[in-house]
C-alpha cells in the first residue's frame, strides 16, 4: 500500500532546488558567513512580510523566546502566563530567564483560553506569553486588552504561525515582541536551526540585536551578558528564497485542511479544534481529537499513514517541572487533550489524493469500530 508521510521535508528543497543552490553558492563564494548582507536582507524581507518595524534573526525559536523575554525586562522571580497546552519550549524559555511559568487551560480552539487568564494574574505577573498553537492565532484583542488593564507586556510564540493573520493583519506586527522558529518542519523552515524576533518597539529590537552577539554593540565592548545566537548567512539566504514560497505553500495547506474539515465532519467520534473568528489559520498542524487516539493511530499506521501527537505529555507533567509541585490532574482539559489529540499528515507537498487516503482510513476505523460499540 502507498504510504502517506506526515510531512515530506525533502520536497521543500526539491521544488525550488535551483534557487536554493544558487543562494548557497552565492554565500559560499562571498567569504562572509555570519552577520553579513544575507542576514540583513532576510531581516528586512521578513519584517516587511509581517508588517513589523523590525526583525532580528537569531539561532532558534527557543532563543527568540528567551531573548524577547530578556528584552522586555523579565527578571528572576517574575511570573509569565503561558498555555498549559503547548510545546515545552515555551515554558523552558520562561525558566531560562529565571521567571516562573503560570499555566492556563485551553479553550475549544485547544489554544490558551483568554477568559481564564485573569485568574492566573498575581502581583508578580509581568508578561503574557500566548502561543498561536497549530497555526491558529489566539484572540489578540483579549490578550492585549488584559495586558493594558494589568500593565503587562506580551511575547507571542508564533513558532507555528508563519503567514497566519488576525483581523486582516499578519501575526508578527505586535507592539512588544513576537518570537518565530525556522526549525525545518515549520511553515517557514530553514535547513537547520533558526529563529527571529519581530517587533514594533525599536528598543526591543536593539536589545535582542545586542544580546544575540555576546551583548556587544561595538567590537570588544560588552554592555550586556549576551549569548551567541546568530542566524548564519547560509540559512538567511535560503530563508529569503523560501519566504517567497510561503503564501503559495500555505494556500496548499489550506486546500488540504478544507478537504479534511469537510470529510471529518461526517465521521463519527472525531472532534476538531474550533476555528476562531477573524483569524486566518496557517495550518501548521491539522489536529483531530478522539477518545480512541492510540487505537486510531495504530489503525492509520497499518493503513500506511504516518501521524504524530502534539503533544503526548504536557509541560506541567514533565520531570523538568516536578519542582513546581503542580499536582497531576490540576489541568484536566490539558490532560484530556494530551490523551486525545492526533495530528494528521499535513504539508505543502501533500496531494488531495493523499488526503483522501487519510480520510478513507479514518472512515474505515470509524465503521470497523462501531461494530464493537454498545
Ligand atoms: C518549534 C517551537 C518552538 C521552538 O522552536 P525551535 O526553533 O525548535 O527552538 C517553540 N514554541 C513552539 C510552539 C514551537 O512549535
Segment 124-142, tens digit of pLDDT: 999 999 999 999 999 999 9
**Cell of residue 233, nine digits:** 548567512
For 42-71, how does the pLDDT look when each residue is reduced to its tens digit (9 = 90+)? 999 999 999 999 999 999 999 999 999 999
Tell me, rounded to whole angstroms, the distance of Cα 74 from its chain centroid.
Answer: 21
Q: What would the mean pLDDT of 336-349 be, rounded to a whole number?
A: 98
What's the CA gap between 305 and 242, in Å, rounded?
A: 27
* Confidence band, pLDDT 50/70/90 cuts, at residue 374: very low
CA of 4 to the centre of ligand 1 (A): 24
Residue of 90, 95, 106, 181 best suited for mutating to test ligand 1, as the one with most atoms within 8 Å of CB: 181
The SS3 of residue 356 is helix
Report the nearest atom of ligand 1 relative to the CA of 195: 7
pLDDT single digits (tens) 206-257: 999 999 999 999 999 999 999 999 999 999 999 999 999 999 999 999 999 9
User: Is a pLDDT exceeding 60 seen at residue 370?
Assistant: no
CA of 19 to the centre of ligand 1 (A): 26
Helix axes 246-264, 352-370, angle to 10 degrees: 20
pTM of the predicted protein model: 0.97
Q: What's residue 1's pLDDT?
A: 55
CB 16 within 8 A of CB 245: yes
- Span from the CA of 31 to the centroid of ligand 1 (angstroms): 31
pLDDT score recorded for residue 371: 47
Of the pLDDT bands very low, low, confident and very high (cuts 50, 70, 90), residue 373 is very low
Amino acid at each position: 500500500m502507498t504510504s502517506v508521510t506526515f510531512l515530506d521535508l525533502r520536497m521543500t528543497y526539491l521544488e525550488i532546488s535551483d534557487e536554493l543552490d544558487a543562494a548557497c553558492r552565492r554565500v559560499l563564494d562571498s567569504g562572509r558567513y555570519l552577520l553579513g548582507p544575507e542576514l540583513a536582507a532576510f531581516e528586512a524581507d521578513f519584517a516587511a512580510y509581517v508588517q513589523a518595524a523590525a526583525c532580528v534573526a537569531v539561532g532558534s525559536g527557543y532563543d527568540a523566546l528567551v531573548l524577547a523575554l530578556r528584552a522586555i525586562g523579565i527578571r528572576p522571580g517574575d511570573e509569565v502566563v503561558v498555555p498549559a497546552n503547548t510545546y515545552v519550549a515555551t515554558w523552558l524559555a520562561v525558566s531560562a530567564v529565571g521567571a516562573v511559568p503560570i499555566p492556563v487551560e485551553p479553550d475549544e480552539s485547544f489554544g490558551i483560553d483568554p477568559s481564564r487568564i485573569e485568574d492566573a494574574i498575581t502581583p508578580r505577573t509581568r508578561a503574557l506569553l500566548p502561543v498561536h498553537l497549530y497555526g491558529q492565532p489566539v484572540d489578540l484583542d483579549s490578550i492585549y486588552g488584559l495586558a493594558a488593564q494589568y500593565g503587562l507586556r506580551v511575547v507571542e510564540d508564533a513558532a507555528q504561525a508563519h503567514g497566519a493573520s488576525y483581523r486582516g493583519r499578519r501575526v508578527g506586527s505586535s507592539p512588544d515582541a513576537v518570537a518565530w522558529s525556522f526549525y525545518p518542519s515549520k511553515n517557514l523552515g530553514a535547513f537547520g536551526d533558526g529563529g527571529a524576533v519581530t517587533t514594533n518597539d525599536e528598543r526591543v529590537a536593539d536589545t535582542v540585536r545586542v544580546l544575540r552577539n555576546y551583548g556587544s554593540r561595538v567590537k570588544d565592548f560588552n554592555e550586556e551578558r549576551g549569548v551567541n545566537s546568530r542566524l548564519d548567512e547560509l540559512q538567511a539566504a535560503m530563508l529569503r528564497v523560501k519566504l517567497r514560497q510561503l503564501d503559495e505553500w500555505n494556500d496548499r495547506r489550506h486546500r488540504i485542511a478544507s478537504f479534511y474539515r469537510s470529510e471529518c465532519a461526517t465521521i463519527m467520534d472525531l472532534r476538531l479544534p474550533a476555528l476562531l473568528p477573524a483569524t486566518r489559520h496557517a495550518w501548521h498542524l491539522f489536529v483531530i481529537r478522539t477518545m480512541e487516539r492510540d487505537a486510531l493511530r495504530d489503525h492509520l499506521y497499518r493503513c500506511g499513514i504516518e501521524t504524530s501527537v502534539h503533544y503526548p505529555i504536557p509541560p506541567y507533567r514533565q520531570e523538568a517541572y516536578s519542582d513546581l509541585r503542580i499536582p497531576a490532574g490540576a489541568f484536566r482539559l490539558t490532560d484530556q487533550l494530551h490523551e486525545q489529540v492526533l495530528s494528521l499528515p499535513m504539508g505543502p507537498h501533500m496531494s488531495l489524493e493523499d488526503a483522501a487516503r487519510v480520510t478513507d482510513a479514518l472512515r474505515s476505523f470509524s465503521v470497523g469500530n462501531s461494530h464493537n460499540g454498545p
